[in-house]
Structure 1
Amino acid sequence: MNREEIKKILPHREPMLLLDEVVLNEDGSATGYYKVRGDEFFLQGHFPNNPIVPGVIQCEMMAQSACALFQEEMKAGTLPVYTGLDKVRFRGMIHPGDQIKIDVSLVRKSHPLYALKGVVSVDGKKCMSGDFSFAIISEEN
């Protein structure tokens, strides 16, 4: 799915929509993609003369990619919110020009809670991995 199709699922909008494309895989996992352009808000000052995608942004990309797995649950009036991050490890830096690949898979679900695993990579090199969880809640909460 492209950005416009992603917007039908996620409530995120620019500048916080951090996916260009998401593919739902036959094995029930999802793969998201994002090309770092270099003009993103999160690169301003992180770091001068050596821009690096912050770890928290990588975690957000992972969660946004996961939401594609829950299209049926992500109805109008709902929000996906992080409930936890665990075993997160950063192994490589991501710079402008890099094509990020985000692989996520479901570990368990008990609606409205979901537990997943994710890996963020560039050119086949793992840059970040971790376990995470989120809940799909009503916007009224």
Structure 2
Amino acid sequence: MDREEIEDVLPHRPPMLLIDDCELVDGRALGHAHVAGDEFFVQGHFPGNPVVPGVILCEMLAQNCCVLLAQGGAPRDATPYYTSLDKVRFKHPVRPGDTVELTCEVTRSRGMFHFAHGVAKVGQDVCCVADMSFALVSEKD
């Protein structure tokens, strides 16, 4: 799924739409986010030593996961809201020029709440791991 197709299932739009592509394979979302270096989040983080902020890596994982939730039968009018981040670990910096490989899988669901695990890598380097949860909230609520 390319960026245009992602926009069909996620409410995010530039500059906050962070993932470039995503495919669903064996119940997992496999996505990519290329960091060119001109993004708003690296311009001042840090001058002379640009690094993608950890919170942005978590958002990349969340968006990748939400594609999985949307394709898994979520109501079309549902907005995914982050409800928790747990066991987040940052292990390697992500810099301009890197392409982040995102892998997410839903570990359990209960009603409108969905729990997932995600890993962000650049090449063989694990950059971020996180357990996340989301609430899918209908606009009608």
TM interval, short-chain normalised: over 0.9
**Is 2:3 the partner of 1:3?**
yes
**TM-align CA RMSD:** 1.1
* Structure 2 match to 1:24: 24
Separation of aligned partners in 2, 1:11 and 1:110: 22
Letter in 2 for 1:116: A
Deviation of the 1:68 alpha carbon: 1.5
Residues 65-88 of structure 1: CA distance to partner in whole angstroms, max 9, x if unpaired?
Answer: 011112221513x21110000000
* Structure 2 match to 1:45: 44
TM-score, length of structure 2 as denominator length: 0.94
| Partners of 2:6 and 2:21 within 8 A in 1 | yes
| Partners of 1:9 and 1:74 within 8 A in 2 | no
Separation of aligned partners in 1, 2:10 and 2:75: 7
Separation of aligned partners in 2, 1:65 and 1:100: 11
Letter in 2 for 1:63: A
Separation of aligned partners in 2, 1:74 and 1:43: 34
Separation of aligned partners in 2, 1:4 and 1:74: 19
In structure 1, stretches of 5+ residues that fail to align are none
Deviation of the 1:20 alpha carbon: 0.4
| Partners of 2:75 and 2:138 within 8 A in 1 | no
Residues 26-59 of structure 1: CA distance to partner in whole angstroms, max 9, x if unpaired?
Answer: x201111011011001112100011100000000
Runs (4+) off by over 6 Å: none
